[in-house]
Amino acid sequence: MSTTTGAATLGAQLQDSPAITQAIDAITSEVRAKSAQITDIRGPVEGLGDDYESFMKRAGETRGRGLLYPYIGSGLGNGALVELMDGSVKWDMISGIGVHFFGHSDTDLIGAQVRSAIGDTTNHGNLQAGWEGYEFSETLLELAGRKSGLKHCFLSPTGALANENALKICYQKHAPASRVIAFKDCFMGRTVTMAQIGDSAGARVGIPLSTQVDYMPFFDEVAAERDGVTKFIDTSLVKLNEYIARYPLQHACFIFELVQGEGGFNTARRDYFKALMECCRANSIAVWDDEIQTFGRTEQMFVYEALDLGEYVDIFCVGKMTQVCATLFTERYNPKAGLLSGTFTGTASAFAAGTRVLERLRDGDFYGDTGINARHHKAFREQVKALAAKHPDWFPKVEDVPGSPGAKDIVGGIGGMMRMTPFGGDKAKITKACKTCFDEGVVLFYCGHGPFHLRMLPPLGVMKFEDWPRVFECVERGLAKVAG
């Protein structure tokens, strides 16, 4: 945190203390030395298995059901490798569903967090806060504003709360409008309202349906190529205008995931989004861009930037790899006093780490056609295609599911959002493959709603290109267990 010129507060003197700097250097040096000892995957360390089973049982009891994966971290890793409490080491190819872009035991981020931790409080809030959160907000707005009209930022601890704040802004601006438009297969979070908007029946079992949602079909590349892109867009506009005519002046917003995360890493052509956004603009419907999972991972920092759609974005949500979540909005959507508040907006350590993440993304070579994200995506595709050539029976043709975006290929995604589709996208086999791959030393997850895919969100900020063959050795062993 930068200090003011002239006389410094006691707090600033503490932050600038040579003794604090030396202590942080000693801590990060020790982390670096221990982290360097992790160089490859390994199985559990002898003697730790029984203790680990005990911890797993206790973890399951506290949350009410067993863990999806037997994953409890030891607190140490090395880049894309992570150590668990049983001493085993895995390749982390999911990064906490996209959070740990700079991997495990990154000493730059640790140093920033340790320095922030000496502050007078742990959490910052709407009423009382230090400068760290505002510094993060300024940095994010400077980046977001390069290709959009986004001017203001409100912070929150989770992506679901960032989405809740976005929805409140839209409702207030377009009161008494009460309806929401979203894409089929979207995911919005786990709060009561966001679970209703998200297109997953299993996520809202037993929840009263009080939020009125109209679902639009997402872009289907297969259908568009078959029938023509223009016809597909025109058909989608007919559907959107039907909703608008059926419920005149009742739609507060249209939520756009420009790349669907949980839905299967689906994206669309610019003309498709542009046509829908222009229709929204003509009918006074807010354009809300949700990039909580996609931010930073594609071939531009913002997907709206990559698609040149920033001029249409009224509300924007970000989270995951930023370490703290945020709702950004234009001046036109700046809400009235009292709408946005909260006891906690985040921790000083999250703000400090988030600011460093933004700075490293800004100053690094991650973006563009030849950037790190694009080159890693190419390497991923090469590994999948080589695996499919070696085991063609594991990768049969993926059948299109009526009403869902077509899966044209066994490999897909964009940038650091990567998916592959073995076993024809069969749900049972895909979920089993997640567990068998975990047993073989690689952590990944699934996405999609039929076909289902194996999903990777690797820590591209630290991953090495020579790691890919080592990762896919584990994947191959895991898929072999499923294939029989």
Stated as kind and residue range, the H or E segment containing 300 is none
Least reliable range by pLDDT among 53-57, 183-187, 397-401: 397-401
pLDDT in tens, 9-36: 999 999 999 999 999 999 999 999 999 9
Q: Where are the alpha helices (DSSP H) in 265-398?
A: 270-282, 303-306, 348-363, 372-390
Question: Looking at the DSSP assignment, which residues form a beta bridge with residue 92?
Answer: 443
- Return the number of other C-beta atoms located less than 10 Å from residue 478's C-beta: 23
**Is a pLDDT exceeding 60 seen at residue 39?**
yes
| AA letter at 423 | F
Give the per-residue pLDDT at 72. Answer: 96
Q: What is the mean pLDDT of the chain?
A: 94
3-state secondary structure 390-414: HCHHHCCCCCCCCCCCCCCCCEEEE
Bond from prior residue into 176 cis (ω within 30 degrees of 0): yes
Burial code of 74-90, b = ≥16 C-beta within 10 A, e = fewer? Answer: bebbbbbbbbbbbbbbb
Helix (H, G, I), strand (E, B) or coil at 343: coil
* Superfamily (CATH) of domain 372-483: Aspartate Aminotransferase, domain 1 (3.90.1150.10)
Burial label for 229, CB within 10 Å (0-12, 13-18, 19+), is middle
Backbone angles phi, psi at 82, to 5 degrees: -135, 140
Reading phi first (left if > 0) and then psi (alpha if -120 to 50, else beta), residue 446 is in beta
Q: Give the residue among 58, 51, 106 at the shortest CA–CA distance from 84.
A: 51
Give the per-residue pLDDT at 7. Answer: 77
Q: Give the residue among 82, 40, 93, 90 at the shortest CA–CA distance from 380.
A: 93
Residue that wins the pLDDT comparison between 456 and 401: 456
Start-to-end Cα distance in the chain: 56
Domain residue limits, the chain = 123-363, 372-483
Give the per-residue pLDDT at 141. Answer: 98
Q: How far apart are CA 199 and CA 169, in angstroms?
A: 22
Percent of the chain with pLDDT over 70: 97
What pTM does this model have? 0.94
* C-alpha torsion angle, residues 290, 296, 298, 304 (rounded to 10): 40
Q: What is the mean pLDDT of residues 362-373?
A: 97
Give the per-residue pLDDT at 401. Answer: 59
DSSP state of 46: T
Q: Give the residue among 104, 41, 44, 40 at the shortest CA–CA distance from 78.
A: 104
Query: Which CATH fold would you assign to the domain 123-363?
Result: Aspartate Aminotransferase; domain 2 (3.40.640)
- Return the number of other C-beta atoms located less than 10 Å from residue 121's C-beta: 11
pLDDT in tens, 438-454: 999 999 999 998 899 99
**Is a pLDDT exceeding 80 seen at residue 170?**
yes
Q: What is the mean pLDDT of residues 251-280?
A: 94
Give the per-residue pLDDT at 408. Answer: 67
Q: For residue 50, what pLDDT band results from cuts at 50, 70 and 90?
A: confident
Q: What is the mean pLDDT of residues 169-183?
A: 98
Q: How far apart are CA 443 and CA 246, in angstroms?
A: 46
Strands 81-84 and 417-420: unpaired
pLDDT in tens, 102-120: 999 999 999 999 999 999 9
Helix (H, G, I), strand (E, B) or coil at 92: strand
pLDDT in tens, 288-318: 999 999 999 999 999 999 999 999 999 999 9
Backbone angles phi, psi at 383, to 5 degrees: -65, -40
**Is a pLDDT exceeding 90 seen at residue 272?**
yes
Angle between helices 372-390 and 467-483 (to 10 degrees): 40
- Return the number of other C-beta atoms located less than 10 Å from residue 282's C-beta: 9
Give the per-residue pLDDT at 409. Answer: 85
Q: What is the mean pLDDT of residues 184-201?
A: 94
Question: Looking at the DSSP assignment, which residues form a beta bridge with residue 315?
Answer: 288, 329
Q: Give the residue among 192, 191, 218, 220 at the shortest CA–CA distance from 207.
A: 192
Q: For residue 264, what pLDDT band results from cuts at 50, 70 and 90?
A: confident
pLDDT in tens, 64-97: 988 888 999 999 999 999 999 999 999 999 999 9
pLDDT in tens, 317-344: 999 999 999 999 999 999 999 999 989 9
pLDDT in tens, 242-260: 999 999 999 999 999 999 9
Stated as kind and residue range, the H or E segment containing 34 is helix 18-35
**Is a pLDDT exceeding 80 seen at residue 399?**
no
Q: For residue 397, what pLDDT band results from cuts at 50, 70 and 90?
A: confident
Q: Where are the alpha helices (DSSP H) in 228-347?
A: 229-246, 270-282, 303-306
Q: What is the mean pLDDT of residues 445-465?
A: 94
Backbone angles phi, psi at 167, to 5 degrees: -65, -40
